[in-house]
Amino acid sequence: MAERERIRITEVGPRDGLQNEARAVSTDVKVAFIDLLSASGVAEIEVSSFVSSRWVPQLGDASEVFARIQRRKGVTYSALVPNEQGLDAAMALASPPDKIAVFTAASETFSRKNTNATIAQTLERFAPVIRRSRDARKPVRAYISCAVACPYEGPTDPQNVRSVAGKLLDLGVDEIDLGDTIGVAAPSDIDLLYEGLAGLLKPGQTTLHLHDTRGTALTCAYRAFELGVRSFDSSCVGLGGCPYAPGASGNVATEDVVYMLEGMGVRTGVDLDRLVDCARLASTLVGHEVPSKYYRAAIGARSRASSAG
C-alpha cells in the first residue's frame, strides 16, 4: 500500500449532483454549499454547467454562482460546457472557471439521447471548445459516459471506450474521465476497462467517475486504486443521477470514499469533519434521504454525543 501517495478528489455534487434534483435549490444555498466544500480540502469542485436553462433549469444560474463563490487557493473550480455558446458564457465572467469540461459517451444510443448527437458529432461540436480553452490556458477534462455499460445498449465494449479516448486525446484534452454512468460495475469490470486502455492510457492518467446504483462503487474504487488510479470523482452525500439513464442513482458519496482511503493510510487532503458539515447542508437542501453511509453514522454519533453531554 502506497501510504504516502495522495488521491485527488473532485467534488461533483454542485453540478452532477444537483442537476437531477427535482426541488429547486437557490443560488444562495449553492454558493454556501460550494464555499463549505472549498474549506473541506477537496482538490477540485465542479461548480456548475453552462448549458441552456431550458434543458437543465437547476443550473441556469451558473454565471451568478461563479461570480459569488469565495475561491480558495489550491482548489480548482471547473465547469461543464456543451458547446461554444456555453464556453462564451463561461469565459465572459470576470473570474472564469479554472478548468473546462466537455462530455461524450462510449454508447451511440446514450449519446443521441443525452446530447441529441452522435459520438462523432459531439467530438466535432466541442473540438473548437477544446482549442479555445487551451488557447486561454484552461485545462480541459473530457467525460466518457457509459464506459462500463449503457442503459439502452447493455455492456460497453472496452474497445469503444479506447476509440473515443484516443480521439479525445488527439483533440488535445488534458484529462480523460471514465464514467460508470448507471452504476453497474463490479471490480472485474474495472479490470476490463483498463485492460482495454492498455498502451493508450495508464490507470494513473485517468479519473474514475462512479455511481452507486447497485452498492458496488466503493469496491470498484478500491480495485481502481489497486490498479493505479489516483483521481476520483465523487459527490457529497451521494447526490446525483442522470435524466438520460433510467434507474441510475447518485454518485459515490465523497465522505464514503474519503473514509475508506484515509482508513487505508492514503492521503486525500480532505477533512472529514468539515465534509460532514457540507453533507448536513446538502441533505437538507434536496428534501429526501441521502445514501451516504459515513454521513449517517457521523450524524448519529454527533447526536449521541450531544445527548450524553
Separation in Å, CA 280 to CA 114, 211, 215:
31, 21, 22
Of the listed 146, 236, 242, 278, which one is catalytic? 242
Q: Which residues are CB-contacts of 232 (< 8 A; sequence separation ≥ 6)?
A: 7, 8, 9, 10, 207, 208, 209, 210, 221, 224, 252, 257
Enter the C-alpha cell of residue 254: 465523497
Let me know if 146 is a catalytic residue: no
* CA distance linking residue 174 with residue 212, whole number of Å: 26
* CA distance linking residue 131 with residue 138, whole number of Å: 10
Nearest-CA neighbor of 32 among 69, 60, 79? 69
Enter the C-alpha cell of residue 287: 428534501
Amino acid at site 8: R
Active site residues: 242
